[in-house]
Chain A
Amino acid sequence: MKAWLTLWGLLLRRPVISILLGMVYLTTVLLIVVAAPGKRGALVALMSAFVAGGLSAVLSERIRRHCLAAGSLGIPGHSQLMHRTQGLFLILFVAAPGVVACALGLSPLTTAVTLLLGPAVGIALSVYGLWWIMLVPALGRFDTHTEWVSLPITQAAGAAASLWFIWRWFELPGRSERIGQEGPVRLGDSRHERAIRHSGPVQRSNIAVDLFDPHAHDAVLPPIDPNIEAERTLPAAFATGLGYSVRTNWRFTAYGTAAGMTALIGWHVLRGGQAEITSYVMICMVCGVSLVARLQSILQRWMRTSTEQAILRIAPLWPDPAQVKRAMLGSTLLVQRGALAAWAAITLCGWALDLVSNTCVFRAALALAGTSLAFSGSLWATLARRQVREWHTATVAIGITVGSGALIAAFGAPLLSLHVALGLALMLAAPAAALAWYLLAPARIPISVDPRALSSRPTSI
């Protein structure tokens, strides 16, 4: 029961995960209905492997973070609980779909390798970093001779390697707890003050961004002491006060863009033809994940800083609600610049070199726009209301509506058909409603949607 509660708290309770899971399972069911009977087992195994891969990456990250804290606090029996949680995860997302796939006619060996490879890759990505993505173009060299994949010896080797990876995964809680024990104990007592001074003070979390409105700050805040590194815009000022950043790291964006272009061209060189769509899709996914991460960082910080908001709210020069709303809207746009610019540059490069088709670009644009709209809408809805339940409901509703709209528009043909118009309208409707709600509703500051309240029960075990 505790393992179930922990898995629920760490993973399944997140609205984003619920939405994505729901969409994947819905798609799977639809595909199973239309697929030939002989392909159904493979379909179940493949889709479940994707799910298990994504979830295992998220779960690994969360287990690592919780175990570091648990090690630091010396919570007894925590790693055993995490082991049981990992076991439950494998039963639910690997073993259970495996049984279904076998029942639908897929061979046990193929089922095993497909379903074990998913979580193994997810764990590798989470634990060993995203540099694994660099190997993706190299797969193209082998992918042209697909018969080797179906060899029993290859499948057995793949299954064994994945199993080994998963087996090593069970060492993650213990290892993280040991690191937590050895690391500096935060909030212990004052003796560590002298020690950490050497690491250099954290002066600020933000640097000026004057693209939004360089004069907005002057209307709101008094002149700044020249000795202070100050924020010149209201979104940047909020970001400093609430602990996030609206700055775009253009150098990192340039590196990411260059890496993406290299991957796209590398894939093309290795494989040729139009098959580089796979690498383009992955690049778009990385851009989408980056965009979501930045939006989520704003949302999370606003939800977790009600005390700081309370302190600032009663300050005499705290801006009026209309300015706060404008600044928040500006922030949601500012943080998306990097990901969108990288995607646009990579897409332009791919399109100019005829590596990606117009349809592919259109669908990728829809996917990215949908991601941006869904998560921006969720953020606005959260800031408009401050009840946890409403945040969940709004997030799920916006996610489903935008996702459905994007799917309808993406698969509508021709480009200017009613399907596409309907899909686009559906994509825009929920975020537009959330935005209108945010602009019309009274400003809710401090907001008190604290996700820690949601996770307190399972993680306090």
Chain B
Amino acid sequence: MADDPVIVARGLRKSYGRGRVLDQLDLTVHAGAAIGLLGANGAGKTTLLKTLLGLIPLDGGRTTVFGQPSSALPPEVRQRLGYVPQTPAQFSWLTGRAMLRYVSRFYPTFDWDYVHSLSTRWKLSLRTPIGVLSPGQQQRLSIVRALATRPGILILDEPIASLDPATRIAVIDELTAERARRPLTLIFSSHLIGDLERLCSQLAVLSAGRIAVLEEVQWFRGLVRARLEADEGLLAGVSVPSAAMTRKSGEGRRVVLLERAIADRLRATLPTSVNITIDQPDLESAASEWMS
């Protein structure tokens, strides 16, 4: 079933020292979804992805992958997981080929034909020690490693930050093609919204330790931004219940993201003493409003 949840997180809590990174976070990822994960630096994207994989202990809450708790995933579930960490320099003491050979021994379904195909197309030298590859090449190798295990769920933590534009597009195209070829659920953390827009069907914004919004990309595109300016006392009484997001941008100022039709109605109903300007933000600006 395409709509079956493959990853479920409920009430996740995680702190580092006094700083709470995840705070009662809930997330449901359905089979076949491609979710772009956005968030400010230090918002907890990497922590969230690692907790989903059971790589770091939680302070509270629970996560399941294919119905199994992340903290004790059985081999048949791990078989279906792929992970590209944020740090590109992995196994830097081995050559690319030695690393892939080593990793392949832990995966019965490791696909060497796919490795050869990708390494040729992406011009990857597998005979070079990983430690002396450029970060971009290391990152490509990491993606090849993850894809060659033929995962059902692929979690990528800022995998394309080090790549040149041509390779970024090649990676995105390959992931898109993979999704077309076989069922593949993607969680893709990145700051490059343009790439997420090309690859993902949904965007999630992580803010204040929670998923502030998780919606289709089209939904984000349909939002308009209303800037309200008035006396603070007057603005405090204005409520926009249908708004996707409201934030205070200064004394007597509000920024509201909402659908076009609701924005028009809002303009008509607001008192004349409230100055309202409406514009159409691009996807990056719209998503960034949740991170501000």
Interface residues of A (CB under 8 A from B): 184, 186-190, 192-193, 196-197, 201-205, 221-222, 224-225, 228, 230, 237, 240-241, 243, 307-308, 310-318, 446, 448
Contact = CB atoms under 8 A, between A and B. Distances in A.
B75 A316 contact: yes
Contacts of B127: 197, 201
Contacts of B102: 240-241
B85 A203 contact: no
Contacts of A237: 105
Contact of A190 (B56, B78, B103, B133): B133
Contacts of B83: 310-311, 314
Contacts of A448: 56
Nearest to B75: A316
A243 B106 contact: no
B108 A222 contact: yes
A327 B256 CA distance: 57
Contacts of B98: 201-204
B137 A190 contact: yes
The SS class assigned to the A binding surface is: loop
14 contacts: A187-B89, A187-B131, A196-B132, A201-B128, A202-B98, A222-B108, A230-B105, A243-B93, A307-B87, A313-B55, A314-B81, A316-B108, A318-B78, A448-B56
B103 A196 contact: no
A315 to B, nearest CB: 3
Nearest to B79: A316
Given A193-B133, A222-B105, A308-B91, A446 B128 contact: no
B76 interface: yes
B90 interface: yes
B128 A205 contact: no
Contact of B95 (A202, A313, A318): A202
Contacts of A318: 78, 106
B11 interface: no
B101 A228 contact: yes
Nearest to A301: B93
A188 B134 contact: yes
Given A187-B89, A310-B55, A311-B85, A317 B133 contact: no
8 residue pairs, one from A and one from B, having the closest CB atoms = A315-B106, A316-B79, A316-B75, A243-B93, A317-B106, A202-B129, A316-B78, A201-B95
B93 A202 contact: yes
B128 A193 contact: yes
A243 B93 CA distance: 6
Given A310-B53, A317-B108, A201 B103 contact: no
Q: Pick the most buried of A192, A202, A311, A312: most chain B CB atoms within 10 A of its CB.
A: A311
Interface in B58-95: 73, 75-76, 78-79, 81, 83, 85, 87, 89-95
B114 interface: no
A317 B93 contact: no
B144 to A, nearest CB: 13
Interface of B: 50, 53-56, 73, 75-76, 78-79, 81, 83, 85, 87, 89-95, 97-98, 101-103, 105-108, 125, 127-129, 131-137, 145, 149
A1 to B, nearest CB: 25
A390 to B, nearest CB: 14
The SS class assigned to the B binding surface is: loop
Given A188-B134, A201-B95, A310-B55, A315 B85 contact: no
A204 B134 CA distance: 20
Nearest to A185: B132
Q: Pick the most buried of B73, B128, B145: most chain A CB atoms within 10 A of its CB.
A: B128
A189 B128 CA distance: 13
A210 to B, nearest CB: 17
Given A197-B127, A221-B106, A317-B107, A308 B134 contact: no
Nearest to B130: A202
Given A184-B132, A312-B103, 13 more contacts: A190-B137, A196-B128, A196-B132, A197-B127, A202-B129, A221-B106, A237-B105, A240-B94, A243-B91, A243-B93, A311-B85, A314-B55, A316-B78
B101 A315 contact: no
A314 B73 contact: yes
A190 B134 contact: yes
Nearest to B109: A316
Nearest to B73: A314
A310 B107 contact: no
A316 B106 contact: yes
Q: Pick the most buried of B81, B89, B108, B129: most chain A CB atoms within 10 A of its CB.
A: B129
Contact of A193 (B53, B125, B149): B125
Q: Pick the most buried of A186, A196, A308: most chain B CB atoms within 10 A of its CB.
A: A308
Given A196-B129, A314-B78, A202 B108 contact: no
Contacts of A193: 125, 128, 132-133, 137
Contacts of A310: 50, 53, 55, 83, 85
A315 B103 contact: yes
B75 A241 contact: no
A68 to B, nearest CB: 15
B55 A205 contact: no
A311 B103 contact: yes
Contact of A186 (B50, B93, B132, B145): B132
Q: Pick the most buried of A186, A197, A312, A316: most chain B CB atoms within 10 A of its CB.
A: A316
Nearest to B112: A225
A311 B90 contact: yes
B99 to A, nearest CB: 9
A442 to B, nearest CB: 9
Contacts of B131: 186-187
B291 to A, nearest CB: 26
A316 B95 contact: no
A317 B135 CA distance: 28
Nearest to A244: B93
